[in-house]
Structure formats: structure tokens, C-alpha cells
Amino acid sequence: MPAEDLKEAFALFSETSARLSDAYLELQSQVARLSVELAAANGELARRERLSALGEVAANLAHQLRTPLAAALLYAGHLARPDLAEADRVRFAEKVLSRLRYLERLIQDMLRFVKGQQERPSAFSLRAMVEEIEQVMEPQMAIQGVRFRVAAPAEDVELWADRQAIMGALLNLLENALQMSPPGSEVGFEVAAGGSPFAAFRVQDQGPGIGADAQARLFEPFFTTRAEGNGLGLAIVKQTADAHGGWVEIDSAPGRGSAFTFYLPLHGEAGEG
């Protein structure tokens, strides 16, 4: 196994471990802060409900981490075998990196979800953000043989929001759509910002669709319909929409794909000051 690959694996493992520690510290901090704030307000019932919810999040996080971490440690253990063939060493190294990258994504999502807060909003160009999203997603779509259709208004408008959070939510929806799309299909990204105080971002795929029972739980933390999903992506999307005075709608049925529409107040409608 090339030395640089092994070095990358251990560096990523170290970084992932640090992020995991940060996630638990942040969760612990949130629990302590909520306990003090809600107790001071004599909201005993609300305090118990929120602490219960955070406890469930912590338990789910431990469950989500256990399997990929155990797999990474198992593959890493194989790398130490002196009789391991070079081809097998490379294969195990790739598996270690794959599991560690999955853990890294999970922890990043967990930190964003637990913090539950947006940065200070500012005005930014809708067109520039759409162009950046297109540049990020186009290569990924091409690699998987999926067509990417983007339709945005000709006239630019300003949004008043946390740009990074909105970008993250939209990329999350697009990545989900890509993962559900078979080669040769199409993912549509349509943006409308006229005749309404809200901008509408519609992400549509031609995947297998989602049944009514699953739709009712899609935005719950840790609920997922994908084998490689961590169940936090759509929870963060909803959290971001709520924090900005917007909302998310879903239109889907088994056999006819899915469409998610993210609504966001336009600049001048979101109470900037």
C-alpha cells in the first residue's frame, strides 16, 4: 500500500475522531444550556420533552456510528497483517477510507443539526448562488450518467438569509435526488422568484418515488429510506427552512419519482434590518 494512502487513512481517522468528540461536547453543552434555561422559566414539561428528544438524538448517533466505525477498525486491522497481498492491502485501505469518509459526513451533519442555529443573514444574489450550485452538481451528475436540467428566472433577485445554510440545504436535496436517480434519467432544479414574496426551489428526480407512510416521517432525525443515508439531511433541510421563515413541500408516489420544493422569503420580506 502506498505510504501516502496509509497516511491519508490515519489522518482522516484522527480528524473524524476529533469531530466525533466535538459532536458529543456540543450535544452535552446543548443539554446543559436547555436545562438551565427551561428550568429558569419553570417550563418543566417542555424541558423534559426537549431533553428527551436530545437523549434520543444521542442514542441514535451512537447507533449510527457503531457499524461504520466497527467496519473501519476491522479493515484497518487487516492492513497490519504482514502476509497481506498488495492488491488486498489497497482494497482494504479503500474500504477504510470509505467508512471514515461516511463517518465524517455523519458527524458534520450531526454538528449542524445539534447546533440548530444559522449564521447572521445577509443579502446575496439568487443567480450567483444557482450558478454555483450548478457548477458543484454538474460533474457529479455526469459521472453517474444523470442529466442535470437547471431552470432559473432571467431576472436576478436578492435573497436575505444565511447563504451557506441555504446552499447546504439545496445541495442536500440535489444529492438525495442524484442518489435516487438511475443512469439515463434526469434531475431537475427549477427556481422561481416572481409574483410571490417567496423564492421556490424545486428539485425533481425520476427515481422510485416515496410512499405515503415514509413521507410522513421523512423530516424526522435519523429516519432514512436509503441504505447509506444517515437520516439527518432532510431534518437539516427542514430546520434551515424553519429558521428562515420558509417551508418544504414534497410531491411523490411510488413509481413516479419525487419532487421537493424549498420555499424561502425574498429580500425585503424576511424582516432584515
Query: Cα–Cα distance between 209 and 53 in angstroms, integer?
Result: 29
Residue 215 lies in a domain: yes
Q: Quick one: three-class SS letters along 166-225?
A: HHHHHHHHHHHHHHCCCCCCEEEEEEECCCCCEEEEEEECCCCCCCHHHHCCCCCCCCCC
Q: What is the pTM of this model?
A: 0.61
97 and 203 fall within a common domain: no
Residue 270 lies in a domain: no
165 and 82 fall within a common domain: no
Domain holding 82, by residue range, is 3-115
Residue 8 lies in a domain: yes
162 and 214 fall within a common domain: yes
**Total tally of structural domains belonging to the chain:** 2
- Residue given cell 430546520 in the structure block: 239
135 and 106 fall within a common domain: no
- What's the CATH number where 161 sits? 3.30.565.10
How many CA within 13 A on the CB side of residue 239?
20
- pLDDT mean by block of 10 residues, the chain; 273 residues: 58 64 63 59 55 61 66 78 83 78 67 61 90 91 94 89 87 90 96 88 94 83 60 80 91 92 76 43
pLDDT of residue 258: 95
